Structures are given as structure tokens and as C-alpha cells.
Amino acid sequence: MPKLLGFTTSVMDPASRFRFIQFIPHLKQLGWDVIHRPNVPDRQRSTRFRGRIPRALDHRAARALMKWNRLRDVWHADCADLVFVNRDLAGGGLFFERQLLRRNPNVIFDFDDAIFLGRNEAAVRWMCRNAALVTPGNSYLASYARQYSDRVTVVPTVVDTAKYVINDTPSAPVTRVGWTGSDQSIRQTLFRFLPLLLQIQESIPFELVVITQSRPHLPVSGLHWSFVPWCEGEENRLSSYMDIGIMPLVDGTFERGKCGLKLLQYMAAGLPTIASPVGVNAEITEDGITGFLPRTDREWSHALAILLNSYELRRQMGAAGRKRCVSQYSIEGWLPTIDKLFHTVVQQRQSTAMSASRS
């Protein structure tokens, strides 16, 4: 039974959950001995202290403990046949990554955002050069990785479509347009589009539903909206809270690296989608079939008006999106490929070791 050691940033962030954690039970069924090592304490943790100095001290203590635990995890990495690293090990620099590859060079380096932008570029470049395999989440990210390695295979973000609930009954009395995401991403994505949504709402009534961890303070007044606290247990019931899923994005270098998780979740829930045609969004969405890809404010208004005025079209597009998600972006569809990739890396390493022992 091959042993797989998986390093993730935390147990809660989307990259950790959708790029590795959700695969653990499936990989175990396929015969992998899976060991999961997230950062402890969790890098997504929040402090219970209020004062500035106590908060700072608590943060430093937690970071020091996290790095100690990560060093211990790395020290034991030589017992694994394969090591999976999502994004980074402890953040900041390459110390832990260098130690890991000294202990076990059979490393898969995985990332699903443009994490090479800014101060982390040198670390990402080094991992691309030295990992046994690089698995970026889309072709845009792969184009960066291929500058430094020919061992690159795109593995898109996928969802467990079997877990998502489909709601076939129309909502009343007002159609709900939903957005879900993190407390951090909402400012760079949804906030910029709120004035446009308010303008559309003044012509066509709808309710904006925002699903995130903490209630945001939206920087507009007069917008009809509601807040739904995010929790992992309710994530597969998006169709209970919204009738249309949106993913607005500006066309920037970071945004082009996103892997469209929101779209996949909407589609898995049988919802029609409206998304900016930035990066992989244009690949996931079949324009006019599973949803719309508006570029301008006028196109956004037109797309929303069409879906808001037709329950039947929402139902048809939602069904088409669900079908596409199951066939192209589901765990069931990608699990055999991932299993094969993992075994190939293990076998290549074993072949190299055998050749070295004979020489």
C-alpha cells in the first residue's frame, strides 16, 4: 500500500479542502495510505484577544508553534512514497521546502491561484523547478510553471457533485442572485460590482444573497440584500439560498489565475451562472447554454434581466450546468486520472532508485 503524505495550508481554506482534503476518502478506497498534515495551529485561526499587543503576541506564538510542528512533519516525510504540497508549507521563504526535498524529493507541488505574483515568486519558481510533478489548476498557471519545468500537468479544481442538492421549485416572492466566497475575496471581486448591481436592481427587482464567513459591510446604500453565514455543512445546499449564481471579476493578472470554484459549486447545485469571462471562467461556462459571460455593464444588465424574467430558462441552464459539471469537473470524473498521476510519480521514483542501485 503506497503511503501518501499531504501538506495543506489549513483544514478550512478552499484550496486545502478542494485540492486535497476532499480526495482523502476516495484515495483510501483506491488503496492509498493517506496522512494529512495541515498547519497546526491552523493558519486560518482567529485570536480570542482584543488588545493590539495581546493579539500580536498571540499571533507570534501561534506562528512559532506552527513552524515547529511543520518542521516535525517535514522531518518524518522520508517515510512516504509520495508527498503532496498545496501552495506552501509554512509561508515565507524556502526553508521548509528545501528541508522537505532533502528528506523526500518525490514531491507533487500543487497550486490553484497566481501565488507567484509578488514576494512569493522565488519560492514558487524553486518548487516548480525541483518538484517531481507540478499540478497547477488551469492553463494560465501552467504557462508559468512550464517556464521552469517540463513535469507539469493541469489538474482543475473539481467538486463532489453527488453531495450537492438540486432545488427545482421557484423561489418566492423575489428571485435571488447569489455570491459566495471568502471574507478576503469579497472586496476584490463583489464590492467592485455592487454599484452596477444596485443600478440593475432599480430596474428589475431581485434580492442579492451574500454567503461568506462574517457579515460584510457593503459600501453601497439602498441595495436589497441578505446575508447567509457560510458553514461547510451547508455548502452543498446553495440552491436553497439562491436562484442564480454570479462570479464577477476584473480582468487582472491575479484574477486570470483563479480556478472558478464558485462557478463549479453553482453548477453542481443546478444553478444558472453569470460570470466575467476572465481566465478559466470562459472555459467552464458555455455561454448561452449553462449561463452567460458578460463583459460590459450593459451585457451584465442584459444577462441578469434575461434570467430574472424566465424561471424556465434558469431551470434549463441550471440543468445543463449540472450535467457539464458532472462530466468535466467532478471528483468521480477526475479521480482515476489523479490516481494514475500519483502512481506514475511513485513508479518513476522507484525506477530511478533501482537504476541508481545497479550503477
Q: What would the grid cell of residue 118 be?
A: 509578488
Q: Which residues belong to CATH 3.40.50.2000 in the chain? A: 161-328
The CATH architecture that domain 3-158+331-358 belongs to is: 3-Layer(aba) Sandwich (3.40)
Q: Where residue 352 falls among pLDDT bands split at 50, 70, 90?
A: low
For the ranges 69-83, 180-194, 255-269, 307-321, which has the lowest average pLDDT? 180-194
pTM for this model (two decimals)? 0.93
For the ranges 47-51, 58-62, 98-102, 345-349, which has the lowest average pLDDT? 47-51
Q: Is the pLDDT of residue 175 over 80?
A: yes
Q: What is the pLDDT of residue 54?
A: 75
Q: What is the pLDDT of residue 114?
A: 95
Q: Is the pLDDT of residue 354 over 70?
A: no
Query: Where in the chain does DSSP place strands (E)?
Result: 3-8, 33-38, 82-86, 107-111, 133-136, 176-180, 207-212, 225-229, 244-247, 273-275, 291-292
Overall fold of domain 161-328: Rossmann fold (3.40.50)
- pLDDT tens, residue by residue, 236-257: 999 999 999 999 999 999 999 9
3-class DSSP assignment, residue 162: helix
* Angle at the Cα of 17 from the Cα atoms of 71 and 263, rounded to 5 degrees: 145
Q: Where residue 52 falls among pLDDT bands split at 50, 70, 90?
A: confident
CB 231 within 8 A of CB 198: no
- pLDDT tens, residue by residue, 103-135: 999 999 999 999 999 889 999 999 999 999 999
